[in-house]
Structure 1
């Protein structure tokens, strides 16, 4: 008997694509997921994994087990033939080239870190978008402490190795700086007591405020807390170039560093840039309020790689998740011959961890800060984790870090 289900291909495994996958009805669609990453990452807790507050596998969900009756290919999509309704793919592991037919295609491939073309950033900087990034950061932290503990090391070289720089004062940069501070003051203080006085953390922000999307009072509170924690905050600081051991600022000053984490926003992937569809000035695919790509049929795009024409939505996991669940409901309705209402974003607020068991909550009806807000921050993210396995593992990690401390091993 011929399969009457429409073939739906979802590109990507981030918040937007994963939410679409979770919400789609596999009785209505034959679902195929194509992504070079075979798991979903709960990125709001990714900074916590860089120092061992949470372990890497506690915030991931394998694509193959996320939904029954789906097909997954670990591959890159390299091209789209809208006339023939096929996509070209290249295997992420072996480079095998193949093509797949589709009836409906969803593009949710996300975005990549924006280096603004600044020389040296990609070569010498570390990023924080994938688990591999978090693992590299954790290893570099311990490596620098071990190198700084070597006998007869010149004082200036020790100070350079132990100068940790974060570029970008958004939520990811702020939360990483906070987690790094906690790791050093709570867990490395005994193991590396002889070199700890030489440690410094600096956060560079090109604008005039940290967490510029938050309420101004919360942003100012964050700066005060960072100052109390001896995290140096440098506003209006623009990076001109990055060298192996120094950062050159546009004011001409040079800043020696041992590790730099670059967190300055997103830009589009080369794949999205190559697509022959209409885009905005940021190279995001333009869609209507149903996430249909402009001028196309049966082709949808959402998340960080797309924008609704005439609307400006922040590039956050909250937005992407709402878009994904909406699109799943909309596609389910279409398969049943119904019409869905246009997408409406419901802003539920923003949260950020700022260190020393303090957090911020910028909610529509209330603003919160401090220890009680940190409890709320943990509770809120715990409820948002996608599976009971993740919830249990994260709670266990929090308890383990509280009782035994974070692991400072390098492996």
Structure 2
């Protein structure tokens, strides 16, 4: 894969400093979202000191080093071109808190452990993701967190379905004639063919580099909910939470009442948790925000599904998620919560609760507070709905 990523880096290089100044933020931004990552009760001395970035590419190590100058980053990548470019960029920006290493992650060794490990869109290129997660387990401090993104089977199985045929026929990303043939073949499939649809973005064919990355990568695995949790279980790690709950919960995506299918919402919402998440992903697999799963893993069993446990602790604090905007929209009634890829119309109770926690407050204080037009019986439902929409988060 080294040669592949030398030729087709992911993401493509960009001016990180300029993007940050224009408001660009990566998921799990340590400077703003540390309590989202570490929601448990923390010692006063708690501090994130070290982080490992696996597959740092041309940009990720530079991004985090710029955003968090007090954290020391070790950045590794299989692509020497990416490492050399990052070193050059770090020197230009006079960054002193990041080290770049050309290495295969499975061959990487370090005596000390890391407080945070990032692995974003990397382990799908490993033949065995379980092996990679076990390696992470050994490199992670006992109280640390793994922040991971993996390709979603709900979108990528349409791509992998045809990519397997392309590879079986011997087509290579190193051969320009092969690339042209594959592009012509896939774009020439019937209009409704799901693999063909994945070769386009807004009715325009993908940039050639993006096309090759999708359809001609020598190794690529994608994960359904069942695949993902089987992989996590086999690694010895524990799933703490999604970065975007609003990709997985019926309350964030479906109408509770519909004349066309009046019982549908209740039926899907009553499913067991993993079946519920799987059902939502299957229903909405056509949307372009289904490329990946982004989530947090921990080493301790007591932190498993921790955001759900915090819902049942009245001592938990509720806070509005960073980068959320609460606003009115011209031509529409009411108030909306908006983030980069999600918009939700707020009920009156939700809007009042968000006003109430402009500064974080405990759930207990909200349950005791008398707020006009909010019934006590509705308060827990309001908190749960806003958490499932990733508009708020909870911590101790």
Larger relative contact order (Cα-Cα within 8 Å, sequence gap ≥ 6)? 1
After TM superposition, the score normalised by the length of structure 1 is 0.28
Relative to total residues, which structure has the larger strand share, 1 or 2? 1
After TM superposition, the score normalised by the length of structure 2 is 0.29
